[in-house]
Structure 1
Amino acid sequence: MRFLLVEDNVDLGEAIVGRLSLDGHAVDHAKTLAEAEEWLAVADYDLMLLDVMLPDGDGREFLRKTRTAERLPVIVLTARSQVSDRVDTLDLGADDYLTKPFDFGELEARCRAVLRRRGTPMPAVIPLGAAFFDPSSGILTQDGASHSLRNRELRLLEVFARNQGQILSKSQLLDRLFPQDAEVSENAIEVYVGRLRRRLADAGVQIETVRGMGYRMSAP
């Protein structure tokens, strides 16, 4: 998944980026509302984590404007803990609200919950041929044996599993796996696709190379 984090506290922002990156998510970090607007203009995101008090304005007003323009899920991060603050923020269109300081495990759980609610309904465990894939735990089960997937291999399989039958270009896959400022070539996608092909070979799942266009997963 690709996240946009809008947080001016550098230490907290880097900690959040590091934690979400460990799960294989691509995270772009904006430290001001102006930077956030620039990121939103050039990239598509699955979720935005939005601080309220920012150097160049109020995140709540930014949330209001964002809500009128698109349906991007938003979790607000703030030190404000009054019930009235939570109610006002949710009424503005936030999908969830997390009060600082927070536990990173809770942040990850809330991200998963919001994405489940706002995304296309799918089973928690996705059948892939003779295998079963659980994106939340990163477990691929086949012939009674479970294999733990990590980081970008996990997220790449999730992208393919949720878009079976669709052609995904290398640039699209790079966007889902890496932040914008990462210096990564399309060869990295070839490496991860090769690993997934080997893992899924006995499950009857194919990741087909569509020449000049990208890749397409198909499973019986």
Structure 2
Amino acid sequence: MRILLIEDEAKLAVLVKNGLEKAGHSISVASNAFEGIAQVTAEKFDLILLDIMLPDKNGFDLLKELRSSEIDTPVIFMSALAESEHVIKGLDLGAVDYVKKPFDFEELKARIRNVQRKFGSDRVSLLRIEDLEMDLIKREVSRAGDSIELSKREFSILELLLNNTNRPISKAEITEKIWKINFDMGTNVIEVHMHQLRKKIDQAFDRKLIETKVGEGYLIAGELIKN
């Protein structure tokens, strides 16, 4: 499943993210409601794990905002507010479940599996273009059957390019979506990452997949197959 975790406790967020990724899920993290709304409106998720006590807006109000925006992604609340009134309020607002902190991690995984059985998942797990293949669940990349080791950033950039096949992606868009910051004209961080990515993806092959469109950005052209 593709899961968005909205949690402001950094240590807990890392633990949950790492644990769920080991269980085969793809996890994005937002540390406040503003970041959460930005991510859920830009990407499609199968499930949202939502803390209630966020620094900029409580989870109850955030869920109301999501539903008023016709975002119907299933939500599981995770909160130290364990009183029955809070649980009832969360469920009445439309959450599919409510996990009380501190929680047993195996129980959380079981509740997520229950959501997956109930609502299913239309998340794409495999991207393929020509002889390049990207497994989004196992986070593996191969070309012509040979495994390619990518860093986390390189993997994310390649996924962004593949999901936008035939459209140039600017440096500004890459920094915004991958680094979550505004583009700094004085840095060459994108060029460095793209150089390494090209070296790994294209160097050993006559057919170069990653193109540069001057003044526009980077592009992978072709017919993308999703499974």
TM bin (shorter chain): 0.5 to 0.7
**Cα 1:42–1:145 shift into 2, 3 Å:** closer
Q: Identify which of 207, 214, 218 aligns with 2:217.
A: 214
**Cα 1:39–1:77 shift into 2, 3 Å:** closer
Q: 1:110-129, aligned counterparts within 5 Å?
A: 122=124, 124-129=125-130
**Cα 1:64–1:55 shift into 2, 3 Å:** same
Which position in structure 1 is the counterpart of 2:31?
29
What TM-score results when the alignment is normalised by the length of structure 1?
Answer: 0.64
- Alpha-carbon distance between aligned partners in 2 of 1:119 and 1:210, rounded to the nearest angstrom: 35
Shift of 1:61: 2.6
- Aligned sequence identity (%): 26
Q: Deviation string for 1:153-193 (max 9, x for gaps)?
A: 11111111111111211111112211349989652222222
SS state at 1:166 partner: coil
**Cα 1:198–1:50 shift into 2, 3 Å:** same
Q: Tell me the amino acid that sits aligned with residue 217 of structure 1.
A: I
Contact between 1:205 and 1:217, CA under 8 Å: does it hold in 2? no
Which position in structure 1 is the counterpart of 2:69?
69
SS state at 1:195 partner: helix
SS state at 2:220 partner: strand
- Count the aligned residue pairs: 203
1:138 maps to 2:139: yes
SS state at 1:167 partner: coil
Shift of 1:134: 0.6
What TM-score results when the alignment is normalised by the length of structure 2?
Answer: 0.63
Contact between 2:148 and 2:200, CA under 8 Å: does it hold in 1? no
Larger Rg: 2
Q: Which runs of 5+ in 2 are unaligned?
A: none
Q: 1:49-88, aligned counterparts within 5 Å?
A: 49-54=49-54, 58-69=58-69, 71=71, 73=73, 76-79=77-80
Q: 1:89-108, aligned counterparts within 5 Å?
A: 89=90, 92-94=93-95, 99-101=100-102, 103=105
Superposed CA RMSD in Å reads: 4.7
Q: Which runs of 5+ in 1 are unaligned?
A: 31-35
- Alpha-carbon distance between aligned partners in 2 of 1:147 and 1:165, rounded to the nearest angstrom: 23
Shift of 1:130: 1.2
Which position in structure 1 is the counterpart of 2:13?
16
**Cα 1:191–1:39 shift into 2, 3 Å:** same
| Bigger relative CO (Cα 8 Å, ≥ 6 apart) | 1
1:157 maps to 2:154: no
- Alpha-carbon distance between aligned partners in 2 of 1:42 and 1:132, rounded to the nearest angstrom: 25
Which position in structure 2 is the counterpart of 1:33?
none
SS state at 1:164 partner: coil
